[in-house]
C-alpha cells in the first residue's frame, strides 16, 4: 500500500531536522510532487521557512521561496504531528562525546518523539551517519516502545546523507542515494521512496551495509588527507613544496587521486565519522590503528599552523603574544557559510590562548553561529580593506574563499601564513610569505 501511495505521490513525507541535510532533502521531495512536512525544534527556522527565507547560503536564496510557493511544504516545531507523515526521514546530528565515543542522543530523542505517534504502515528512515547496527539495534527498539514491531507493523531503513555544501556539479537529486532496509519490505519501500525523488537510488542488502558504506566513504577521505598532511610536514622539513609535488603527481592519469593538505579537518563528516567505526570495532575485538593514526595526524595540523606562525613572526622580530592576527575564513571549506568543526575555530582559540589579539574575516559568516563546544560570540567578521590588512602583524589564510580580493591581500598584508596555497602565485618569492 505504501509503495502505491509513493508512486501516485499521495504519500506524505516528513523530514525531521531541517539543517544541511534535511532542508535540501525536503526540497527534493517537494519538487518531486510530494507533500512534505518539515520538523525542527528551532522556532527561528520554522518562522523563516514560513516566510520563504533561506538560512543556508549555499542552497540559494530561491529554494525556500519555491518550497513555500509550491503549496506542498509546511514547517512545524510540533513533533506531535509526526504521525501525519507516511514516511519520516531522520536528519539529525551525530556528534562525538568527550572521549570520541558516538553521541546518539539526537537519534534517541528523534526515535522517542516518533514512537509517540508511530502508526502501522509508516516508513522510518535514518539518514544520520553512524556505526553499523544503529538503525536495527538502537533506533528500532526505541521505536518499538509503543508496542509496534519493526518489519511487521512499521518499516525501518537507513539511507546515508551524501551532502557536500557548496558543490556545484552534484546536488541532493543527482547524487546516487544508497538505501538499505532492516527487512525486505523496508528496503523495497525505502528504495521506492527515494527513487521517486532522486536520479538514482541504489539498494543494498541491509541497513548495515549502507551504514558501513557511508563510513568507508569518509574514512577514505580522512586517511588520504592525513597522508598529504603528513607529507607536508616531512617535505617542509626537507625544503620541498608539497603543493608542487601534488601537482606533479596529479599529471599521472591513473592510479593517483589528488588530495590536498590544510590546517585541519572540517565539516560534520570527516573529522567525526571515522571514530564511529573505531568505537564499534573495539566492541567486536578489533583495533583500527590506521584510522586512529590518520585522526592523530589531522588533529595535529592546527598546532602545526600555530608553530609556523610563531616562527614567521619571530623572523620579523615579534612574539606571538601581543601580536595582532587576522584569520581569513571561518567556514571549513571555500564559498560556504558552514563552520561545523572548522579548523579556523580551533586556530582562533589556540592563538588567543597564547596571547595573540585575534580577529577574523569571512564574507560568508558575518557572525559566528551558536555552537555547542565553542563560544565566539565576541567575534564578528571584519571587512577587508588595505588599511585593515596593514593593521595586522600577520594574516593567516585558513579558507580560500573566491570572494576574497587576493590581489589586495597580497599587496597590503604585512606578513602572510598560507595554509591553502591561495597566494602562492602572487607572493611565492616574497620574504613576508610563508606556507603552512
Q: Are 26 and 36 in contact (CB under 8 A)?
A: yes
- Annotated catalytic residue 91: no
Confidence bin at 265 (pLDDT 50/70/90): confident
* Rounded Cα gap, residues 422 and 418, in angstroms: 7
Q: Give the model's pLDDT for residue 96.
A: 87
Q: Are 262 and 332 in contact (CB under 8 A)?
A: no
CB distance 399 to 369 below 8 Å: no
Residue 400 Cα to chain centre, angstroms: 17
Say how far residue 86 (Cα) sits from the centre of its chain: 28
| Domain boundaries along the sequence of the chain | 2-205, 221-435
Element (DSSP H or E) covering residue 90: strand 87-90
Q: Examine the pLDDT at 371 and tell me if it is beyond 80.
A: no
- Kindly state the average pLDDT of the residues 130-145: 97
Stretch 73-86: mean pLDDT: 97
CATH topology identical between 2-205 and 221-435:
yes
Class of domain 2-205: alpha beta
Classify 250 as helix, strand or coil: coil
Alpha-carbon gap, residue 227 to 389, rounded angstroms:
33
- Percent of the chain whose predicted confidence (pLDDT) is above 70: 100
Rounded CA separation 399/334 (Å): 6
Q: For residue range 224-243, what is the model confidence (pLDDT) as tens digits?
A: 999 999 999 999 999 999 99
pLDDT for the residue 98: 80
Q: Name residue 96's beta-bridge partners.
A: 102
Question: pLDDT for 94-128, tens place per residue?
Answer: 998 888 889 999 999 999 999 999 999 999 999 99
- Which is the catalytic residue, given 56, 269, 330, 344? 269
Residue 58, pLDDT score: 86
Closest CA to 396 of 304, 315, 271, 300: 304
Q: For residue 373, is pLDDT > 80?
A: no
pLDDT beyond 80 at 268: no
CA gap 333, 331 in Å, rounded: 6
Mean pLDDT value across the chain: 95
Please give the Cα distance from 133 to 207 (Å, whole number): 8
Model confidence pLDDT, tens digit, residues 291-313: 999 989 999 999 999 999 999 99
pLDDT, residue 266, reads 83
Q: Which helix (H) or strand (E) holds 53?
A: none
| Mean pLDDT, residues 133-160 taken together | 97
Query: What is 279-332 written as a DSSP string?
Result: HHHHHTT---HHHHHHHHHHHHHHHHHHHHHHHHHHHTT--STT-EEEEE--SS
Confidence at 50, pLDDT banded by 50, 70, 90:
very high
Q: Give me the pLDDT at residue 147, please.
A: 93
Q: How confident is the model at residue 51 (pLDDT cuts 50, 70, 90)?
A: very high
CATH architecture of 221-435: 3-Layer(aba) Sandwich (3.40)
Using the structure block, give the residue that is written with the C-alpha cell 525486505.
184
Q: What is residue 100's predicted lDDT score, i.e. its pLDDT?
A: 82
Question: What does the block give as the cell for 298?
Answer: 589531522
Does residue 84 have a pLDDT over 80? yes
Cell of 363: 564574507
pLDDT tens figures, 172-226: 999 999 999 999 999 999 999 999 999 999 999 999 999 999 999 999 999 999 9
Amino acid at each position: 500500500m505504501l509503495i502505491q501511495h509513493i508512486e501516485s505521490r499521495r504519500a506524505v513525507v516528513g523530514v525531521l531536522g531541517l539543517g544541511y541535510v534535511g532542508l535540501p532533502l525536503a526540497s527534493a521531495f517537494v519538487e518531486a510532487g510530494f507533500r512534505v512536512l518539515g520538523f525542527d525544534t528551532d522556532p527561528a527556522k520554522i518562522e523563516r521557512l514560513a516566510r520563504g527565507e533561506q538560512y543556508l547560503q549555499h542552497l540559494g536564496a530561491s529554494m525556500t521561496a519555491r518550497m513555500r510557493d509550491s503549496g506542498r511544504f509546511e514547517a512545524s516545531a510540533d513533533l506531535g504531528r509526526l504521525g501525519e507523515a507516511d514516511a519520516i526521514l531522520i536528519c539529525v546530528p551525530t556528534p562525538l562525546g568527550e572521549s570520541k565515543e558516538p553521541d546518539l542522543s539526537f537519534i534517541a530523542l528523534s526515535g522517542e518523539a516518533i514512537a509517540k505517534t508511530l502508526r502501522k504502515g509508516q516508513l522510518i528512515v535514518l539518514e544520520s551517519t553512524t556505526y553499523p547496527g544503529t538503525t536495527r539495534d538502537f533506533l528500532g527498539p526505541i521505536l518499538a516502545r509503543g508496542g509496534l514491531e519493526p518489519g511487521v507493523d512499521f518499516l525501518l531503513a537507513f539511507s546515508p546523507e551524501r551532502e557536500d555544501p557548496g558543490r556545484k556539479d552534484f546536488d541532493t537529486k543527482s547524487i546516487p542515494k544508497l538505501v538499505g532496509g532492516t527487512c525486505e519490505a523496508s528496503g523495497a519501500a525505502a528504495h521506492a521512496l527515494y527513487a521517486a525523488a532522486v536520479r538514482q537510488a541504489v539498494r543494498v542488502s541491509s541497513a548495515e551495509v549502507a551504514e558501513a558504506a557511508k563510513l568507508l566513504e569518509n574514512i577514505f577521505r580522512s586517511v588520504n588527507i592525513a597522508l598529504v598532511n603528513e607529507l607536508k610536514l616531512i617535505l617542509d622539513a626537507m625544503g620541498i613544496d608539497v603543493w608542487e609535488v601534488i601537482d606533479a603527481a596529479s599529471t599521472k592519469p591513473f592510479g593517483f587521486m589528488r588530495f590536498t593538505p590544510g590546517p585541519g579537518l572540517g565539516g560534520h563528516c570527516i573529522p567525526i565519522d571515522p571514530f564511529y567505526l573505531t568505537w564499534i570495532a573495539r566492541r567486536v575485538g578489533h583495533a583500527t590503528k590506521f584510522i586512529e593514526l590518520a585522526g592523530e595526524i589531522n588533529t595535529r595540523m592546527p598546532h602545526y599552523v600555530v608553530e609556523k606562525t610563531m616562527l614567521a613572526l619571530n623572523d620579523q622580530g615579534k612574539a606571538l603574544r601581543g601580536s595582532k592576527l587576522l584569520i581569513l575564513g571561518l567556514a571549513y571549506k571555500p564559498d560556504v557559510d558552514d563552520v561545523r568543526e572548522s579548523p579556523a575555530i580551533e586556530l582562533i582559540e589556540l592563538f588567543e590562548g597564547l596571547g595573540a589579539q585575534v580577529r577574523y574575516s569571512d564574507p560568508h559568516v558575518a557572525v559566528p553561529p551558536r555552537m555547542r563546544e565553542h563560544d565566539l560570540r565576541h567575534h564578528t567578521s571584519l571587512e577587508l580593506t588595505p588599511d585593515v590588512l596593514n593593521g595586522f602583524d600577520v594574516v593567516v589564510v585558513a579558507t580560500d574563499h573566491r570572494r576574497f580580493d587576493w590581489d589586495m591581500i597580497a599587496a597590503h598584508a604585512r606578513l602572510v601564513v598560507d595554509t591553502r596555497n591561495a597566494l602562492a602565485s602572487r607572493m611565492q618569492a616574497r620574504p613576508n610569505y610563508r606556507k603552512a
